[in-house]
């Protein structure tokens, strides 16, 4: 696949590569805008980026855009693809770019251009009659898009501001091969069946309520699932030498100004007034972690110091962007901060990478790594950023872990490695991250005493593995389609008495299983056995235990298993201790 860079150079890139995919879907967004302008010339164009799965474009239409128009736009896009339009790139001055967009009454483009530096040259990409200012890259010809499909319409706001102008967002997907589209459509159908919102309700895991938009309620089985995850997390971190801490859910403005978040992250923070002082509800735990470090006195012998926190954090997500457990306003972040000497940096990055690998393997996830570099909105010197970026690269290179570069998408205080896991139907989710930070130790003036007896400044790693525990649970629900592995299942065994005559013996079985550490519940409904079995299958319980006259007489149980072919589901009659042995391994 040929990709056109903004300097006019054409390079080869595969669609499987991150940059190739971005260029492909970014060009598809331009094809969408070109089709809309052909059919509805008075429409104003806002922005149209490539996203994780496809692309979208925001428009201001003069009319109510509907499914009928969506079909017409898709057909026009296919015609543009068939025209085999070669893309060309030009550089113009800011003044010329503004004049071009003002002449075409593209007010959103004018506003974007005005925000750019005065001396900056601005690149325009042109395909046929359509030209748009854009930094690229793009594929070199529209004919490389073999299949294209518009997926949905939704409302959006200019720059995400709910007080701003309401726009229409059109989502689409495209591929260089027809077979890839077929696979994608199949994946969408499978994803509908695995939707964590549907399964979460069906399995009694969580609830979403009008009284708290973006604030999920965990039900008893969901709380069991969450605690199983957190217990695993705690055991693992204890073995790895982490100490768990807890910091307040809100802290005053001066702290956030000191950390840099007030200037660089305030739009993602809830604020409130306490005793005539402005406070922020924490969107992350790192500034509180810095205060914890300052409570102690450390020497080089104490380093690396690994402090972990399951911090409840809040971020003001837009109402239209909320999505089940995947996008919420309140979540538990499995944060940790590692304070270390310079010579320990490489080893600690690699230890975190190995820990992330171990956790993802536990759940059957593969993953790829993305290295995000210095953003425009950053703090710290170029030298510090170069050192931090190089350290992350060296750590990955020495471990033989490949990564892709994501230019300009680092945290404002440092570069980062993002771990994108792949689920059972091929979707990717960004969860784990390792961020290397020279800035917060400097801002909080934290120190340790070196072997030379002098004061030194530690370097810091921020890292998460699950990312958001709530989101990770949503991913797990969809990854397993609700059929959690036995160790993670909120209910491992469901007892199904054939009739009420066997309730007394069933209670004895229940007690014996509970004493052995098995999570068990009993169906006492006055229903036929076939109905109870179907209910247990819908609940996706790993083992169903049938208790009738034969079992009561023999002091045994009859067991059916969830994860087996139909003819192997019936495991037959066995002792209670044998089932415990099977479950606990």
Cα–Cα distance between 458 and 297 in angstroms, integer? 13
Residue 296, burial from CB neighbour count under 10 angstroms (0-12, 13-18, 19+): exposed
Residues near 565 by beta carbon (within 8 Å), at least 6 away in sequence: none
Catalytic-residue membership of 563: no
Q: Is residue 65 within 8 Å of residue 153, measured between CB atoms? A: yes
Dihedral over Cα of 376, 380, 381, 386: its sign: negative
3-state secondary structure of 361: helix
**416 has catalytic annotation:** yes
Active site residue 261: no
Q: Is 357 a catalytic residue?
A: no
DSSP letters spanning 134-148:
----EESBGGG--EE
Annotated catalytic residue: which of 462, 471, 479, 519?
Answer: 462
d(CA 136, CA 122): 11
Residues 462 and 286 sit within 8 Å (Cβ to Cβ): yes
Q: Residue 315 catalytic? A: yes
Active-site residue (options: 26, 44, 58, 286): 286
| Active-site hit among 221, 237, 314, 315 | 315
Residues 447/455, Cβ–Cβ less than 8 Å: yes
Q: Which helix (H) or strand (E) holds 314?
A: strand 305-314
What would the two tokens of residue 12 be? 């080869």
Active site residue 221: no
**Longest CA pairwise span in the chain (Å):** 91
Residue 547 in contact with residue 539, Cβ under 8 Å?
Answer: no
Point out the catalytic residue in the list 58, 334, 335, 523. 335
Annotated catalytic, 286?
A: yes
CA distance 170 to 187: 20
Q: Could you tell me if 302 and 293 are in contact, meaning their C-beta atoms sit under 8 angstroms apart?
A: no
Catalytic residue among 98, 333, 344, 435: 333
Strands 557-561 and 543-547, sheet pairing: antiparallel
56: enclosing H helix or E strand? strand 54-60
**Catalytic choice (237, 337, 351, 374):** 337
User: What is residue 221's three-state secondary structure?
Assistant: helix
| Residues belonging to the active site | 286, 315, 333, 335, 337, 416, 462
């Amino acid at each position: 696949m040929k990709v056109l860079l903004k300097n006019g150079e054409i390079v080869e890139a595969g669609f499987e590569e991150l940059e190739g995919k971005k260029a492909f879907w970014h060009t598809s967004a331009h094809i969408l805008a070109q089709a809309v302008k052909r059919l509805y010339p008075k429409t104003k164009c806002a922005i149209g980026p490539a996203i994780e799965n496809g692309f979208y474009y925001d428009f201001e239409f003069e009319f109510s855009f509907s499914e009928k128009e969506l079909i017409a736009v898709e057909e026009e896009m296919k015609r543009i693809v068939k025209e085999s339009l070669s893309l060309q790139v030009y550089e113009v001055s800011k003044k010329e770019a503004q004049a071009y967009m003002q002449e075409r009454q593209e007010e959103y483009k004018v506003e974007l251009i005005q925000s750019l530096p005065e001396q900056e040259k601005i690149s325009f990409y042109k395909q046929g009659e359509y030209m748009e200012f854009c930094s690229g890259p793009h594929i070199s010809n529209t004919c490389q898009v073999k299949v294209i499909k518009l997926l949905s319409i939704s409302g959006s706001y200019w720059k995400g501001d709910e007080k701003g102008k309401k726009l229409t967002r059109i989502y689409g997907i495209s591929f260089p091969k027809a077979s890839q589209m077929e696979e994608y459509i199949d994946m969408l159908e499978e994803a509908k069946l695995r939707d964590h919102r549907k399964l979460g309700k069906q399995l009694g895991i969580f609830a979403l309520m009008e009284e708290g938009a973006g604030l999920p309620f965990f039900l008893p089985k969901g709380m069991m699932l969450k605690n199983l995850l957190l217990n695993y997390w705690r055991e693992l971190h204890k073995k790895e030498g982490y100490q768990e801490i807890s910091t307040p859910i809100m802290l005053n403005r001066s702290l956030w100004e000191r950390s840099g978040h007030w200037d660089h992250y305030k739009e993602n923070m809830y604020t409130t007034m306490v005793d005539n002082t402005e406070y922020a509800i924490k969107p992350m735990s790192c500034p509180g972690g810095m205060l914890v470090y300052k409570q102690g006195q450390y020497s080089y012998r104490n380093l690396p110091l690994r402090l972990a926190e399951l911090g409840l954090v809040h971020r003001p997500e837009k109402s239209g962007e909320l999505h089940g457990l995947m996008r919420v306003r309140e979540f538990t972040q499995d944060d940790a901060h590692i304070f270390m000497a310079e010579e320990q940096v490489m080893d600690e990055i690699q230890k975190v990478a190995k820990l992330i690998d171990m956790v993802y393997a536990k759940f059957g996830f593969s993953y790829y790594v993305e290295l995000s570099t210095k953003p425009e909105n950053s703090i710290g010197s170029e030298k510090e950023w170069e050192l931090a970026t190089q350290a992350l690269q060296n750590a990955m290179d020495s471990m033989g872990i490949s990564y892709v570069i994501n230019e300009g998408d680092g945290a404002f205080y440092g570069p980062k490695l993002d771990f994108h896991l792949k689920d059972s139907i091929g979707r990717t989710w960004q969860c784990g991250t390792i961020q290397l930070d020279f800035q917060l130790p400097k801002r909080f003036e934290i120190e340790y005493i070196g072997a030379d007896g002098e004061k030194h400044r530690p370097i810091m790693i921020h890292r998460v593995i699950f990312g958001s525990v709530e989101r990770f649970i949503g991913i797990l629900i969809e990854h397993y389609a609700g059929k959690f592995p036995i160790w993670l299942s909120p209910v491992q065994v469901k007892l199904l008495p054939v009739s009420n005559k066997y309730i007394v013996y069933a209670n004895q079985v229940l007690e014996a299983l509970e004493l052995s550490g098995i999570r068990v519940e009993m169906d006492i409904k006055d229903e036929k056995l076939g109905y109870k079995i179907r209910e247990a299958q819908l609940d996706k319980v790993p083992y169903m235990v049938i208790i009738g006259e034969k079992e009561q007489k023999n002091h045994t149980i009859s067991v059916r298993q969830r994860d087996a072919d139909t003819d192997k589901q019936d495991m037959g009659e066995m002792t209670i201790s044998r089932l415990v042995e099977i479950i606990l391994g």
